Structure 1
Amino acid sequence: MDIIAKERAEVTVQIHRRTLARFVLFLLALLIIADVTVIMQSHSMALELNRQQVNKKLSLAGDFCVEAILKGDYVSVEQFLLAWAEGYDEVLQLKATAANGFLLVNYQRKQNSPHTLTATHQAVFQNQPVLTIEIVENLDALYSAQRLNALTLVGLSIVIVAIFGYLLWTTLRRTVFLPLRNEIRDHQKAQHELTLRGRELEISNKDLEAFCYSVSHDLRAPLRGIHGFSTVLNEDYNDKLDDTGRDYLRRICDGATKMSLLIDVLLELSHVSRLKLIIKEVNLSEIATDIISDLQFQDPERKVTFTLQPKLIVNGDHQLLRVALTNLFNNAWKYSRLKPQAIIIFSKETSEKGKDIYCVSDNGAGFDTQYADKLFEAFQRLHRQDEFEGTGVGLATVKRVIERHHGQVWATSTLGEGSKFYFSLG
């Protein structure tokens, strides 16, 4: 059991770990997708902003050059654009072409870049093109800044997910794993105590078997001697005893007989407790029919009406259930003997929860229900011996049988009107 519990705990921990890892990875994937979306939008906005700035600069440069071109001062235009390109580190190429196709400037920096932006501006005067400026700008700085921002954003997301995962894992350990470990430890402790209890019970059962052997053999021998010699004394020396002596002798015989009966019922109670259950389909109606036939054979003069519900089928141990029903019907038979017309009924009811409940009822003497809790205890009797004979073990035996079937047994009664004994099986 300990090994099974540990394996189940390990499987539970692994499942929680995998679930947590999947959740964290899913959360990280969502954040990265969001980061990529933000980075792409940010990059597009940065490119557009850079394009607007370049166009604005080209527009200013073109407006300056228009005035010089109208004056025919091409040298000033060339000098201004070259100086502007040299002073603007991001310019890789610059071409300026007059309206007549004359190439004024063809500047190219000794530097290449995989990331460039090409922009063209046409300067006009009175809606007539005067100068066309084409520029190629280096975007390495922009891409480097965007790359740094992207790494920072993704790194921050990873850190956030890592912190969240750690906090979630810590909470999970505190709320799930530690209680699970405590439960395993408690289970192991209980299992150890159960093992010790099982060993004690095994020793107790061996002692009980030894006691039963002693009762059935060692005690019966002297009891048979007492009963035998008392019988011989009564038969051979009866005329030599006075009435007091004969009364004493009768009491000795009755005591020996009663003690033998007690030994029998104690052995039956012990046997019921120790017998190995053989669970199979049992027809309680057939068992009840056999028991009633035996009772009627023993006392054929009695007027008793039996009502048995047919086909009461259960799953249980046939031998033990027969013992229980025998005691219940013997009780009903005994306590209804003073009725001129006794009635004994064996039937099945269904509880509100849908559970089958079986009932043996009679119209006999009944009992006071305030003592009902003592009814199923061994050697507890609610009637005097001179009223109804018995040992006080029969109903205790019934309870033991029903409990071994994981069921319940109880009784209701009205004094002078009869009793109902109910039982259910697990």
Structure 2
Amino acid sequence: MDQPWVPGRAAVLGDPPDPGRPATLAEFGARLRALRDWSQIGSREMPAVVGEERRRRGLTREAVRSYTTMFDLFRENRKRYDEDLLFDTVRALLRAGNLSQARLEELTRTWREAYHAARQRKPRTDDYPRFRLGPLTTSCQILEGNGERAIDRGSVRVVVAQEDVVLPPYLAAFRDEVAREQEERRRAGEEHFWNAPRYAVADLVVSRRGADEAPDVTLHLKNSDYFNFIAAQQLDRPLEPGGTLRTRYLDGRDVWDTPDFLRSSFGVNIAVVTADGHLVVSRRSSRVGVGKNVWNSSANEGLQRELDGRAGAPPDLHAAAQRGLAEELRLDPADYRLSLLAFAAVTSNSHWCCFFKAELTGMTLDRFQANLGRGAQDAWENRGFDFVPFTPESVVTYLLRDDRRDLWAPAAPPLFYLSLVHSFGRGEVDRCVDRLTGAAD
């Protein structure tokens, strides 16, 4: 019986066939069949081999279960392909040559370009624009919301699937290391992290409703934990199968296509503005798990299942923001007006999040500082704060400071920008940005 090809099996001799630049899908199909023949992967083992390729990407439920599905890919005169299945198959076939990870990625890109040529369309070579203010660029992509109007609390639904994310074996090994290390540190009385039950983002669905096309947002979550999150942040650590988490799952991928196990956190980021018009900017401490010593939002929290989803109920994002403001800044809900401005993702590490602005209703900067100095539950998470006059010119100038520009958490600048837009309007804020960055010239 044929056995699935795995690393260590005798490699196919010779280079794989070159897909070239086929003019039609029929030509592409002929070259795909040539690649199948070169790989020497038999019909019975094909589903298992391609299923393993999909498992590498974290698609544990999408393994190919029969050759019928595979056979259709190689059928002559095909008019369309399931592109995800197609390129998982191409990668699986190429692996038969026991190629280096870099060579595998290079050849996969060649086959993708050939497919796009056959479809007579240009390959995707650009990414969705990242957030940018003149020379300041972050890896944050705003997915919904432009700051001009708040997203109504009743327009956001959170759905939790009562299932755990499944880690690929190499990532599960990373997680085991994290668990052992943190337990050793705990026993030694050293700084360590608790494995808090967290959520992973399964999907974010946005639609419109009503004559004013108000947003209607559904956030789909799965169960995860903090050790999964820490393990998945080892993005540049070499993997035993080759490559890294970054090269396998992030580089060149649309943010929507990253696997759920890399999304094992959903952050709530809040910009606080005092009653007398000062923006609160935090400097994270060296003791937080991720984002040490960077300048960040006024407060931020990761959704936590035991605190934000009691008894299995889905979390409420506004309530989670209130928790963050209470724990980090000693603020009560009566102290502020809360507005949900946007949903976003940081493409460099697959952190998904939402943005809030909290306007203090009666608490001036002096009172805010006095209140905070009396003790906050999570005061250790921040090493200090800056307070910036909340005007477009002052905030944008502050964001672009030479000693800040490369030390921002990726989500902070877009959060502060959208908070300005919410208060002053997009036109006024963008004119200020253009003036300060020379973009208007």
Query: In which range does the TM-score fall when normalised by the shorter chain?
Result: under 0.3
Using the size of structure 1 for normalisation, the TM-score is 0.22
Higher relative contact order (CA closer than 8 Å, sequence separation 6+): 2
Kindly name which structure, 1 or 2, has the bigger radius of gyration based on alpha carbons: 1
- What TM-score results when the alignment is normalised by the length of structure 2? 0.21
